[in-house]
Amino acid sequence: MCSLSLFGHLSNQLERLCELVGADSAPAVGLLDNLLGPVGSRPLSERPDWPSNVADDNTPVEFSIAFNADGHPILRILGEALGPQPSAATNLSAARRFLDTQADHFDLSMYRFNLVQDLFTTENVRGEFGIWHSIVLQKGRQPDFKVYFNPEARGVDRSPDLVAEALRRLGLARSYQTMLDHGVRPGELARRDRLTFFALDLHDRAQARVKLYLSHHGAEAQHVVRAASAVDGIDGAELAEFCQAVGGGPGPFDDRPLVGSYTFTEEADRPVGYSLYVPIRSYVHDDEEARDRVAAVLERYGFDSTGLDRAVSAVTRRRLRAGVGLIAHASLRLGLPRPGVTVYFSAEAYRTYPPRPRLVPASAPPPAIQRIGRPADRSAA
């Protein structure tokens, strides 16, 4: 029934999203093609042969739109390059090939990457991935690139040392300590507060950043407020309000974890920016509920929610009530590099998760949404 290829499916979505943000679609589609490599030509009807954790249904690509106070929205592709016969080792080679090609073509700065990559790129990667990529597309500009390393690549228990060494090499050891002091609940480092992504910008303009992500399992809004206090000038009440508005309550968020990220620069001895990512798909019944919550938050920040609706129509034709997970995360960015709200969209190349029923007996109180199980058959991301 479905002879469309993975590349065909994703490039249709990408073209429409490019139009929405005013970015050139032909080069963007070329980058997608290069990222997917031979895997792109596989028909959607074939099961994915690598359980990519980029998205719940194993599509190795996720799109996001960053709404910014000071300009056009920015489109980003998060993706995992896969080997022709995917395995931890062949995927790493595919990632390197993609980076080499782009570094040549766009004259990327690989300096920071080369300083730390040996820590994270072991042949027998543990955990979920070796390297992920982000391609940043905006109107009138060359694309930008980021890489994400996996701090748990040598095992969860080694993640704190790996990150400490990487940040030491990058001259950011003091910021890391500040982050640990605030961001981690006592005794929970590499337990319920896990170091999940280590991200680098591949350019050397003044705003080049290093970002570190912490996943807070079973956390409440108050925990991320504390975590964000590592950064000067963050309004905790604003963060808690975002958490509640998107997540549907103050927590605890016992399904997919809240994730926080810290932005580091060499000039400061503490992190200079904080973002909170709420995995909204675990805390709603269906995508209509997710859309309504995110639209309300966008409006509160002065963004026109028609941008959200246009993005939704760019990625899917299905009814929002017919599934859950299309809107995967919503994030609030505070401080540097630029404040705003970002919305993450699943490509749903392989599957749509069924909605959680909204029906409740007329007299019963509404269900505690946080306790509803995660969609279908994947274990926690």
Positions in the binding site for ligand TRP (CB under 6 A): 53-55, 62, 78, 259, 277, 279, 329, 344, 381
Amino acid identity, residue 43?
P
Smallest separation, CB 57 to ligand TRP (Å)? 10
Smallest separation, CB 337 to ligand TRP (Å)? 16
| 168: β partners | none
Neighbouring residues of 364: CB distance < 8 A, sequence distance ≥ 6: none
Smallest separation, CB 277 to ligand TRP (Å)? 4
Neighbours of 174 (CB within 10 A): 14
Closest Cα partner for 168 from 234, 112, 129? 112
Contact (CB, 8 A) for 214 and 196: yes
Closest Cα partner for 342 from 354, 333, 334, 351? 333
Smallest separation, CB 345 to ligand TRP (Å)? 10
Smallest separation, CB 331 to ligand TRP (Å)? 7
Which of 83, 325 has the CB closer to ligand TRP? 325
71-79 and 258-264 strand pairing:
unpaired
Which of 127, 366 has the CB closer to ligand TRP? 127
Which of 56, 144 has the CB closer to ligand TRP? 56
Task: Report helix, strand or coil for 339.
Answer: coil
Smallest separation, CB 78 to ligand TRP (Å)? 6
Amino acid identity, residue 35?
L
Buried b (16+ CB within 10 A) or exposed e, 136-156: bbbeeeebbbbbbbbbbbbee
Which of 176, 277 has the CB closer to ligand TRP? 277
Q: How far apart are CA 133 and CA 21, in angstroms?
A: 20
Which of 149, 204 has the CB closer to ligand TRP? 149
Smallest separation, CB 54 to ligand TRP (Å)? 6
Amino acid identity, residue 25?
S
Give the N- to C-terminal CA distance of the chain in Å, as an integer.
Answer: 30
